[in-house]
Amino acid sequence: MSDCSTSTDIGVNCIGAGIRVQVYAYLVDYFMADVELDEATLLVDDLGADSLDLLHVVQAFNDMFCIDIDADLLPRMLTVGGVCEVVELKLQCRSIH
């Protein structure tokens, strides 16, 4: 488990484009993608993700950014763009509280 004080500083300072860079970099590394990712890249169809991969990705971003992605948001995370949007949403919600 990551240290939230470190991850929080990283997450808050990188809202926007920086978050997307971190998300893209993680997904390329995790899926060993040999294609260029874009917002419409599908995790399952294009990157070969299965349900266990999706849960691993969610947990990794929870730890990386000290957020808690709820199960009801999983259907929005089927594309790279969707993953970015959910992470950004959770970071914005966290900064409000």
HEC sequence for 33-91: CCCCCCCCCECCCCCCCCHHHHHHHHHHHHHHHCCCCCHHHHHHHCEHHHHHHHHHHHH
pLDDT in tens, 14-48: 456 799 999 999 999 999 998 899 999 999 999 99
The number of residues in the chain equals: 97
In this predicted structure, the answer to whether residue 7 has a pLDDT above a threshold of 60 is no
Its pTM stands at 0.80
Between these two residues, 8 and 41, which has the higher pLDDT value? 41
Burial bucket for residue 28 (CB in 10 Å: 0-12, 13-18, 19+): middle
- The pLDDT value given to residue 94: 82
